[in-house]
Amino acid sequence: MDIVRSIKEINEKVESFKRQGKTIGFVPTMGYLHEGHQHLMKTAGEQNDVVIVSIFVNPLQFGPNEDFDRYPRDEERDKRIAIQEKVDLLFMPSVEEMYPKDASIQMTVQSRNDVLCGKKRPGHFNGVVTVLTKLFHLTQPTRCYFGLKDAQQVAVIDSLVQDLNFPIDIIAVPTVREEDGLAKSSRNVYLSTKEREEAPSLYQALEAGRKLVVDGERNPDTIVKGVEHYIQTRTSGKIDYVELLSYPELEPVNQIDGQVILATAVYFEKARLIDNVIFQREGIKSDVTLGG
């Protein structure tokens, strides 16, 4: 596995892959890799000749009161995991390498960003699309892999690729979970023992909401209230939101008709956890359709 830290060197490596006619699978991450990331790497390896993984904690997507400085980092462990997953190239640039000077052009997300997590994180997705635009140019991937745990991010990236005509297939990979259903996350390490016992209730609540749809419920308000009640009575966490929206458009729906997302975010003492389920109008899960 090659470890690359400079833009000059990754340009040279990618050009070499392209000259050889190799397909490139790209997995962008902020490091502190876990089994969710490993699943993305495995999928990329199955579908491409070369796998590139980036590790970059992007300061542009953190707000002034968010956890950029305390975001977990473990470079040596990340390297070992990347080698284990047979990654071909690990791109680990510094902030100075990615942002050597103040930008003269600013990217602004106009839709799909003022709901769910984006509603209380102004500017967050501007930072996401900025760094991904740079990374897409640098890695020139055939396919790029994202976990559906952060389904809003996937929806925003879907818009980015469509609007700017990137010749990239966005592959949305199902959320990887612990045995008890809790979504894998770098922030799970911040949960206390009691909170860790409660945390699987988030996914259970979403599944209970989905099952209401399977049983014939079509009123979004009824479903949202049912999910909220489930979380409030089974955890000590504070609900940030529970929302039911069209997907990937992320628009409010008066009645479930088509692909939707039921999502939640909950504050625990030292961690904010997110989770979601995506399903069709009958409540049935299927492959997620992008390009909306």
Contact predicate 26/143, CB 8 Å: yes
Q: Are 253 and 239 in contact (CB under 8 A)?
A: no
Ramachandran quadrant class, 250 (left: phi over 0; alpha: psi -120 to 50; beta: rest): left
The Cα 114–Cα 40 span in angstroms is 27
Q: Are 263 and 275 in contact (CB under 8 A)?
A: yes
Distance of CA 30 to the CA centre of its chain: 11
Residue with tokens 């040279």: 12
Compute the CA torsion angle 30, 35, 36, 41 (nearest 10 deg). 80
Are 11 and 138 spatial neighbours (Cβ–Cβ below 8 Å)?
yes
Q: Which amino acid is at 147?
A: G
Distances (CA, A) of 101 to 68, 69, 98, 188: 20, 21, 9, 34
Binding residue positions for (R)-pantoate: 61, 153
What are the binding residues for ATP? 30-37, 147-150, 176, 184-187
Catalytic residues: 37
Question: Binding site: residue ranges?
Answer: 30-37, 61, 147-150, 153, 176, 184-187
Residue for token digits 């909220």?
A: 228
With CA atoms as reference, report the closest residue to 113 among 100, 123, 102, 99: 123
Give CA–CA dist 168/142, Å, rounded. Answer: 5
Element (H, E) at 136: helix 124-139
